[in-house]
Amino acid sequence: MCLSGRLRLVTALAPLVAASLSLGCDNEASVNFRTGELLFAVPATSLSLPGELREDGPSGATIRALPCGPMGACPAAEAVTISCDAMVCDPEPTTVKVPVGDEVDIDAYAGEFEPLLRQVDAIEVREITYAVALNTLTVDLGELTLWWGPEGSSEGETHLGVVPPLSARETRSGTVELDPTGNAALGEYLGGTSRRVRFFARTRVDLRPGGAFPEGEAEVAVQVALRVTGPIVD
């Protein structure tokens, strides 16, 4: 008869909250743990508009419907493309890309599983949670998509999951909807290529004349729950 069970391990390693060991049949075991918080921010500076498009009012600043005339001339902006649409200067939808924390090095957690497992057969992401604890942005954000890439990646290469759109000044927490294909690719990469990986976030913002002028910042904390599986030490 095969006996299985679960042992909770309290750890003093700073990035970890806790780890647990699951014992199964065939001398296999898995260690579950979470990374520390991986932080990223979406600041209004990544959506900065020229002062000519700002119009202050009693309820706050809005995007001025600046006429662009028959020549289609609009002020230039560094982060946002502004085009002439229906004779009015209209910011085009903009994609914001930001790194999510620093790179994650699974070997930093090796002390939690190497004494227990004879070898590592698989590494998988079980869950990713997020928390928006601070959001002073005056504009809505589209879906926040998470991506992963190898060490040294500049913006992520493989889609990993989605966080629903975030309204202006909204705060909330929840679980990222994982992309099965991207998550499986990440597990294969961590288990067979490298234990170092980076995460990135992207969101698309559509600023419109008459809408709120972009100000403030949204800060998001992400935690990744992983499972390492392999044969237990005899």
Residue/partner pairs of 87-94 with CB below 8 Å, 24 or more apart: 88/209, 89/53, 89/65, 89/209, 90/208, 90/209, 91/49, 91/53, 91/63, 91/207, 91/208, 93/204, 93/205, 93/206, 94/46, 94/47, 94/204, 94/205, 94/206, 94/207
Residue 88: predicted pLDDT = 95
Residue 6: predicted pLDDT = 42
Q: CA-to-CA distance for 210 and 162, rounded, in angstroms?
A: 29
Residue 26: predicted pLDDT = 63
Residue 108: predicted pLDDT = 84
Residue 10: predicted pLDDT = 33
pLDDT by residue, tens only, the chain of 234 residues = 343 444 333 333 333 434 555 555 567 778 888 888 999 999 999 999 999 999 999 989 999 999 997 777 899 998 899 999 989 999 999 999 999 999 999 888 766 666 766 778 888 999 999 999 999 999 999 999 999 999 988 888 899 999 999 999 999 999 999 999 999 999 999 988 999 999 999 999 999 999 999 999 999 999 999 988 888 766
- The pTM for the full model equals 0.84
Query: Which one, of 177, 166, 163, lies nearest residue 134 by Cα?
Result: 166
